[in-house]
Chains A and B, each alone.
Chain A
Amino acid sequence: MGDLIINVGPQHPSTHGVLHLVITLNGETVKKVEPHLGYIHRSIEKMCESLTYRQFIYVTSRMDYLSSHINNHACALIVEKGLQIEVPQRAQYIRVLLDELTRIASHQLWWGAMAMDVGAITPFFHAFREREVINDIMEQTCGARLTMNFMVPGGCMYDIHPDFVKSVKDFMAFFRSKLSEYDEMVTNNPIFQARMKDVGVISKENAISYGCSGPVARAAGVVCDVRKLSPYDVYSQVNFEEALETEGDCFARYKVRMKEMNESMRIIDQLIDNIPEGDFQAKTKAVLKLPKGDYYTNVETARGDFGVYIVSEGATTPYRIKFRSPGFCNLSALDHMTRGSKIGDLVAIMGSLDLVIPDIDR
Chain B
Amino acid sequence: MISVENISKGIHRTLSDHLSPMFTTLTELTIVGIFVLTLFAVLGLVLVFMERKVSAYMQIRLGPNRVGYKGLAQTLADTIKLVVKEGLTPNGADKFLFNLAPFIVMFGAMLLMAPIPFARNSQIWDLNIGVLYITAVSSISVIGILMAGWSSNNKYSLLGAMRSGAQIVSYELSAGLAIISIVVLTGSLKISEIIASQETGWWLFRGHIPALISFVIFIIAVTAETNRAPFDMAEAESELTAGFHTEYSGMRFALFFLAEYVNIFIVCAIGATLFLGGWMPFHIGNWAGFNHLMDFIPSSIWFFGKTFFLIFVIMWFRWTFPRLRIDQLLNLEWKYLLPIGMFNLLLMTIIAIMGWYF
The answer to whether any beta carbons of A and B sit under 8 Å apart in the complex is yes
Residues of A participating in the B interface, judged by any CB pair closer than 8 Å: 4, 6, 8, 12-14, 28, 115-122, 124-126, 129, 185-186, 189, 191-192, 194-195, 342-345, 347
**Chain A residues touching B, majority SS:** helix
Residue B327 CB within 8 A of the other chain: yes
Looking at the complex, which of B63-71, B201-209, B315-323 is the stretch in contact with chain A?
Answer: B315-323
- The answer for the CA separation of A189 and B323 in the assembled complex, in Å, is 11
What 0/1 readout, one digit per residue, does chain B (318-334) give for beta carbons within 8 Å of chain A?
01111111111000000
Point out the residues of chain A lying under 8 angstroms from B328, CB to CB.
Answer: 194-195
Residue B239 CB within 8 A of the other chain: yes
Point out the residues of chain A lying under 8 angstroms from B320, CB to CB.
Answer: 120, 122, 185
Among B58, B60, B155, B233, contact of A344 (Cβ-Cβ < 8 Å): B233
Point out the residues of chain B lying under 8 angstroms from A186, CB to CB.
Answer: 322
Residue B254 CB within 8 A of the other chain: no
What 0/1 readout, one digit per residue, does chain B (234-260) give for beta carbons within 8 Å of chain A?
001111100000000000000000000
How many residues on the B side are at the interface (Cβ–Cβ under 8 A)?
25
**A4-B155, A116-B238, A125-B61 known; A195 and B325 CB under 8 Å?**
yes
**Chain B residues touching A, majority SS:** loop
- The answer for the CA separation of A195 and B327 in the assembled complex, in Å, is 11
- Interfacial residues of chain B within 217-235, with CB under 8 A of chain A in the complex: 229-230, 232-233
Check if B230 sits within 8 Å of A119, measured CB to CB.
yes
**A194-B324, A342-B325 known; A14 and B238 CB under 8 Å?**
yes
**A13-B238, A14-B238, A344-B233 known; A192 and B59 CB under 8 Å?**
no
- The answer for the CA separation of A120 and B320 in the assembled complex, in Å, is 6
Among B59, B156, B323, B327, contact of A122 (Cβ-Cβ < 8 Å): B59
Point out the residues of chain A lying under 8 angstroms from B319, CB to CB.
Answer: 121-122
- The answer for the CA separation of A116 and B230 in the assembled complex, in Å, is 12
Among A4, A125, A192, A343, contact of B322 (Cβ-Cβ < 8 Å): A192
Check if B322 sits within 8 Å of A129, measured CB to CB.
no
From B155, B321, B326, name the one whose CB has the most chain A CB atoms within 10 angstroms: B321
- The answer for the CA separation of A189 and B321 in the assembled complex, in Å, is 8
Q: How far is the CB of A195 from chain B (nearest CB, A)?
A: 6
Check if B230 sits within 8 Å of A191, measured CB to CB.
yes
- The answer for the CA separation of A18 and B116 in the assembled complex, in Å, is 50
Check if B237 sits within 8 Å of A13, measured CB to CB.
yes
Check if B322 sits within 8 Å of A195, measured CB to CB.
yes
- The answer for the CA separation of A344 and B322 in the assembled complex, in Å, is 12
Check if A343 sits within 8 Å of B237, measured CB to CB.
no
Among B61, B229, B327, contact of A119 (Cβ-Cβ < 8 Å): B229
What 0/1 readout, one digit per residue, does chain B (140-160) give for beta carbons within 8 Å of chain A?
000000000000000110000
Q: How far is the CB of B265 from chain A (nearest CB, A)?
A: 23
- The answer for the CA separation of A285 and B323 in the assembled complex, in Å, is 57
Check if B230 sits within 8 Å of A28, measured CB to CB.
no
Interchain residue pairs A-B with the least CB separation, the first 8: A119-B323, A119-B322, A120-B322, A118-B322, A125-B59, A344-B325, A192-B322, A13-B237
What 0/1 readout, one digit per residue, does chain B (21-61) give for beta carbons within 8 Å of chain A?
00000000000000000000000000000000000001111
Q: How far is the CB of B229 from chain A (nearest CB, A)?
A: 6
Point out the residues of chain B lying under 8 angstroms from A120, CB to CB.
Answer: 320-323
Q: What are 19 inter-chain pairs, A to B, with CB distance below 8 A? A: A13-B238, A28-B327, A118-B323, A119-B323, A120-B320, A120-B322, A120-B323, A122-B59, A125-B59, A189-B322, A191-B322, A191-B323, A194-B324, A194-B328, A195-B324, A195-B328, A344-B233, A344-B325, A347-B239
Chain A: CB-nearest residue to B236: A119
Q: How far is the CB of A178 from chain B (nearest CB, A)?
A: 12
- The answer for the CA separation of A124 and B322 in the assembled complex, in Å, is 12
- The answer for the CA separation of A56 and B97 in the assembled complex, in Å, is 61
- The answer for the CA separation of A129 and B58 in the assembled complex, in Å, is 13
- The answer for the CA separation of A125 and B61 in the assembled complex, in Å, is 9
What 0/1 readout, one digit per residue, does chain B (153-185) give for beta carbons within 8 Å of chain A?
001100000000000000000000000000000
Point out the residues of chain A lying under 8 angstroms from B236, CB to CB.
Answer: 119
Q: How far is the CB of A29 from chain B (nearest CB, A)?
A: 11
Point out the residues of chain A lying under 8 angstroms from B325, CB to CB.
Answer: 194-195, 342, 344-345
**A117-B238, A119-B230 known; A125 and B60 CB under 8 Å?**
yes
- The answer for the CA separation of A347 and B323 in the assembled complex, in Å, is 12
Chain A: CB-nearest residue to B232: A119
- The answer for the CA separation of A24 and B264 in the assembled complex, in Å, is 37
- The answer for the CA separation of A195 and B322 in the assembled complex, in Å, is 9
- The answer for the CA separation of A51 and B237 in the assembled complex, in Å, is 43
Chain A: CB-nearest residue to B56: A125
From B229, B233, B238, name the one whose CB has the most chain A CB atoms within 10 angstroms: B238
Q: How far is the CB of A3 from chain B (nearest CB, A)?
A: 12
Check if B60 sits within 8 Å of A129, measured CB to CB.
yes
Q: How far is the CB of A211 from chain B (nearest CB, A)?
A: 28
Point out the residues of chain A lying under 8 angstroms from B324, CB to CB.
Answer: 119, 191, 194-195
Q: How far is the CB of B159 from chain A (nearest CB, A)?
A: 9
Point out the residues of chain A lying under 8 angstroms from B58, CB to CB.
Answer: 122
Q: How far is the CB of B318 from chain A (nearest CB, A)?
A: 8
Q: How far is the CB of B176 from chain A (nearest CB, A)?
A: 24
Chain B: CB-nearest residue to A125: B59
Chain A: CB-nearest residue to B163: A28
Chain A: CB-nearest residue to B237: A13
Point out the residues of chain A lying under 8 angstroms from B240, CB to CB.
Answer: 6, 8, 343
Check if A119 sits within 8 Å of B59, measured CB to CB.
no
